[in-house]
Structure formats: structure tokens, C-alpha cells
Structure 1
């Protein structure tokens, strides 16, 4: 179905007439022509129409395509799902050939029809494939440095790249992330995304044994948490503090901090959260006792 036909279906399902939806921006005649695919309208007019029937653009996209994700996001997700599927099939060898073929396909697709999101994803994949060998992700670092207003893409791009950036680059971005992402302040979920950036950076610093920088980032997150008053973030902050203390060698203090978060999860009946982060705690303790580096986590939620 075309945009107009879907809009008409939504309007009718809500019991709204053309006269009720029309106004000084979109006339009855214009809406009727749009609904019958006889007229293309501007993005501004279309968003205004959706607002008139109380439907968000994301909701409209899900109805139209079955997903709110872009084509690039769907391609990336399919590639990552292939990796997870190969990894989870414990009785079968890791299917490197299929994964490499899918990556090559993505590269060819991006050459034919460029996508900034897909381009950055491919740079990160190659960065991890050649981890430890210069150059690091200089192209992505340059991009992030020169974008004055970060959106969700830039914040997520930093999270995915933080493990590969040198210390000075990570410092610069963490010092400026709140200023660069100020445009998002009014968007629901922005505050949590900001904390996910801080948490991701903390694990990157711990993995690289930059404990002083991890502590500074944790302090920044703690200060912001007092302003934000987000219960889930406040509950999780002791766990992040325990993570840092563990790899600094303060095992007893780390255990107390881990327990603060896990006990609250238990008391609140948040069994999934308790199980997930209890497993992470065990894994990180095992790494520490084996004198292995901490895991790097990209936080998209808690």
C-alpha cells in the first residue's frame, strides 16, 4: 500500500472524516487526492496530517513496513543475527565463510547505494578485525569531532567505537558528549542514552586499565544522575562502581557495591535484571582472578 492509502485506512479506523482532519494546512481536496495517490505532499504536510489523527511517524512506519528500522538497520541486524546464530550453534563450527560473504554483500550494497550508517558499521567491523594495528578508526573519530550536534546515530556510533579509540580521543568525546548532544535533550529517552554512553565508556576505560579516567566518567554519571532522577540508572550506578573497584583490586568493596544493585533488583522482583547482571558479575570476577582484561560492553539498555 502507498502512503496515502495507509493514511486513509488509519483515518477511517479512527472514525474521522476528511472534514475533521482538514485545516488551513491541508484542505479536504488535498487530503482526498493524497489518499488516492493522485498527489504527493511535502514532509511537513504529511507529519501535520499524522498529528491530526494522533499517529506518530514511527507508528506509521511500523504499519507500512512492519518495522520502524531503516533499511540499513535491517541489513546490519541481519548480519549480526547471522553471527549470533553461528556462535550459538555449539555443535557446529563457526561459519566464517557465510559471515564473510554477508559482509562482502553489505560492502557492495553500500557502494551502489551509499548509507552513512552502513558505512560507519563497516568501518567498525574492519576496525575490530584489525584490532591493535594502526590506524585506529580515524575516519569515525574525525566524523564525530566535526559533527557539532550529535544525534542518536552519533551517540551510538561513539559507544560502538569507544573500545578502539585511543585514550585522548575518548577523553575528548566524554568531556563534550553532553554539549554535542544538547539537541536531543527534549527527546524522550535522551537522558538514558547519555548514561549508556557513560557506562560504555567506563567499561572501555576499565578494559584498557585506564582506571583514573573510568573513575572520572563514573563521577560524571553520578552527578548527572542526581539531576535526572531516573530510578533504573540510580539502582545500577553501584554496580558500575563495583565493576571499577574490582579491577582496581578492591574486591571486598566491589562485592558490597555489586550487592547493592543486585539486592534491589531482587527486592523489586526484577528477576531478569538480577540474573543478567549476576552473570556479568561472575564473568568479570573470573576475568579478574585469571588476570584477564575486563569485558567491553556497549550499553543499549540495562
Structure 2
């Protein structure tokens, strides 16, 4: 739906006439031309008109996206959200493929084909360099995990994983350079860090995490920034613990606990218990690790969240394998 047509629909639904809205900034004739698509409108004039019918600019953009079928990005964060961002729309599509790829070898093969098609589609889009690089890393991850399912020696599998990280730590240098160059991070930069951090050198991820968290706190009025705080901490924890940086892993969990204190966020609090179980199990306190996992799983069961129960039961199996052999992990995003 065009902006003018949507505005007319909202105006009429609220009982406003053109005469009600016309003033020195927007004449009756101009509003009529805007609604019929005969005239373009500036951001300032549109914001002024929306204020007169009591519709926020953000709501207007959301309703426009809803009509276009792109109003829900369900894979970027736990809570579906929407922002007027081509990058986030493309990222969500990559993550949707990634989410469905790990049930079987066939699904990973399908994921490789889907990523290949998506890369062709977005290759010519403006500023698509970083999202193409991320899609490439996900596709490479599928291939690494498929090859890991084929009979390999432990040395061969480890060499393959090391090569993967060496390759992408070089290829993601432009992403690191960009993030270091930008002083005032917004949603784009924070999400860029969140989804690339596992490919960075570990000390770089640790250093940039502080910047990312400070920016989410600065813009905490945006729901996406509040949600991404914990996602950042949990994802960097996963990176730190897999590479056995225990102090940094503990820092991430402690900050997550501080953010969650007295917030009533039961699902993320249960997630935190499971992450704490992961930490203690890998650290060597198996009893405490299992206790934390059991506490988190109990909360999920009480809240009737079977998908989360299944996810963490599967994760616990991987944690147990990883505790015995630090090289026994799937390449993770």
C-alpha cells in the first residue's frame, strides 16, 4: 500500500476530514494530492500530519510493512520485531534458513542451496557486503558440519574447524574496522557485532562487547535494544566458553544476571540458569552444573515451554561431550 493511500485509510478510520487537517504546513489540496499519489511528501510534513491523527511515525511504518508482508522479523531475536531496515530483513532470512538446517544432513544440504539462492538475490542490493559475508559464513558452517558427520579422524576434524576460524577472522577484518571506526553505534552496529562476534578474534569480541552493551543501554527506549542486550551476552558467553575463556564467560553471565534482576523476565531468567549450568559443567563442577540446568528446565516446564525444554536438553548433551573433548562442538553462530 502506498503511503498516501495508507494515510487516507487511517484518517478516515478516525473520522478526520481534509478540512480538519489542513493548516499552514499542509493545505487541503496538498493532502488530497498526497493521498492519491499525485504528490510526494517530506518527512517533516508527514510526521506533522500523523501527529494530527494521533498515529506515531513508527506505527505508520509498521502498518505499511504489515501490508507489504514484511512486518515480522522472527529469527533475529527471541521476540519478533520490526524495523525499517533492509539489513535486518535480509539477516532474518539468513537466520530462518539457519534455524531449519540442523535437523538432518538433508536439511543442511537444502540450507546450502537456499543460502546460494539468497546470496544471488541480494548480491546487487546496496550495502550488501556484510550480509553476504555473514550468509557465506553460515553456508560454510553447514559444509563444515556436514563433513564432520562423515568419518574423520579427530585431527582432521580439528584442522578443518581451525581453518574455518582462521579464514573468517581474516575475512571479517573489514567488519571489525567498521565497528572500531563508528563511535555512536545504533541498532545496525549492535546487530552486526552480535552476529559476527563468534568469527572475530576472541579478545576483539571481548573488547567490543563493552561498547555494544553500553549502546544498548543508551538506546534502551527501543524494544529491540532491550531485547538484544541479553542476546549479546548469551551469544558472547557461548563464544568465550567454547574457547575456554572462563573469566570472560563469567563476566558475561554476571552482567546478564544484573540486567535481569527484578525485571520479571522469567524466560530469560530460565535461560540464564541453563547458561550458568553450562559454565559450571565445563569448569568442572558437574554437580553444580547439572543443578543449574535442572532449575532452568524446571522453570521452562512450569511455564509450559516445550521448545525451550527440548533445546536445552539437546544443548546439555553437547555440553557433556564438549566437557570431555573441547574440540567436540558444532561450529556455532
Task: Give TM-score scaled by structure 2 length.
Answer: 0.74
Residue by residue over 1:126-179, the C-alpha shift from the partner in whole angstroms, topping out at 9 and shown as x without a partner, is 456443235251111111112222222222211111111112211211222233
Kept in 1, the 8 Å contact 2:277–2:292? The answer is yes
What 5-or-longer segments of structure 1 have no aligned partner? none
Cα distance in 2 for partners of 1:186, 1:93 equals 38
Corresponding position: 1:210 with 2:245: yes
Q: CA deviation at 1:286?
A: 3.5
Question: 1:296/1:148 Cα in 2 relative to 1: closer, same or farther (>3 Å)?
Answer: farther
* Aligned-partner Cα distance in 2 for 1:227–1:96: 40
Deviates more, 1:99-108 or 1:220-229: 99-108
CA distance in structure 1 between the aligned counterparts of 2:30 and 2:318, rounded to whole angstroms: 61
Instruction: Label 1:80 to 1:159 Cα distance change in 2 as closer, same or farther (>3 A).
Output: closer
- Determine the C-alpha separation between the residues in 2 that align with 1:122 and 1:222: 34
Which one of 131, 155, 178 corresponds to residue 165 of structure 2? Answer: 131
Unaligned runs of 5+ in 2: 72-83, 141-163
Bigger mean CA deviation after superposition, 249-258 or 7-16: 7-16
Q: How does 1:155-174 map to 2 (within 5 A)?
A: 155-174=190-209
Q: Report 1 or 2 for greater relative contact order, CA contacts < 8 Å, sequence distance ≥ 6.
A: 1
1:140 to 167, 175, 189: 175
Aligned CA-pair RMSD: 3.2
Q: How is 1:51-200 mapped onto 2 (pairs within 5 angstroms)?
A: 51=51, 52-54=53-55, 56-68=59-71, 70-78=85-93, 94=109, 98-99=113-114, 101-102=116-117, 105-106=120-121, 108-110=123-125, 114-115=126-127, 118-126=128-136, 129=140, 130-133=164-167, 135-200=170-235
Matched residues in 2 for 1:103 and 1:37: separation? 32
Determine the C-alpha separation between the residues in 2 that align with 1:93 and 1:294: 16
The SS at the match of 1:132 is helix
Distance in 1 of aligned mates of 2:175 and 2:241: 22
**8 Å Cα contact 2:25-2:45 kept in structure 1:** yes
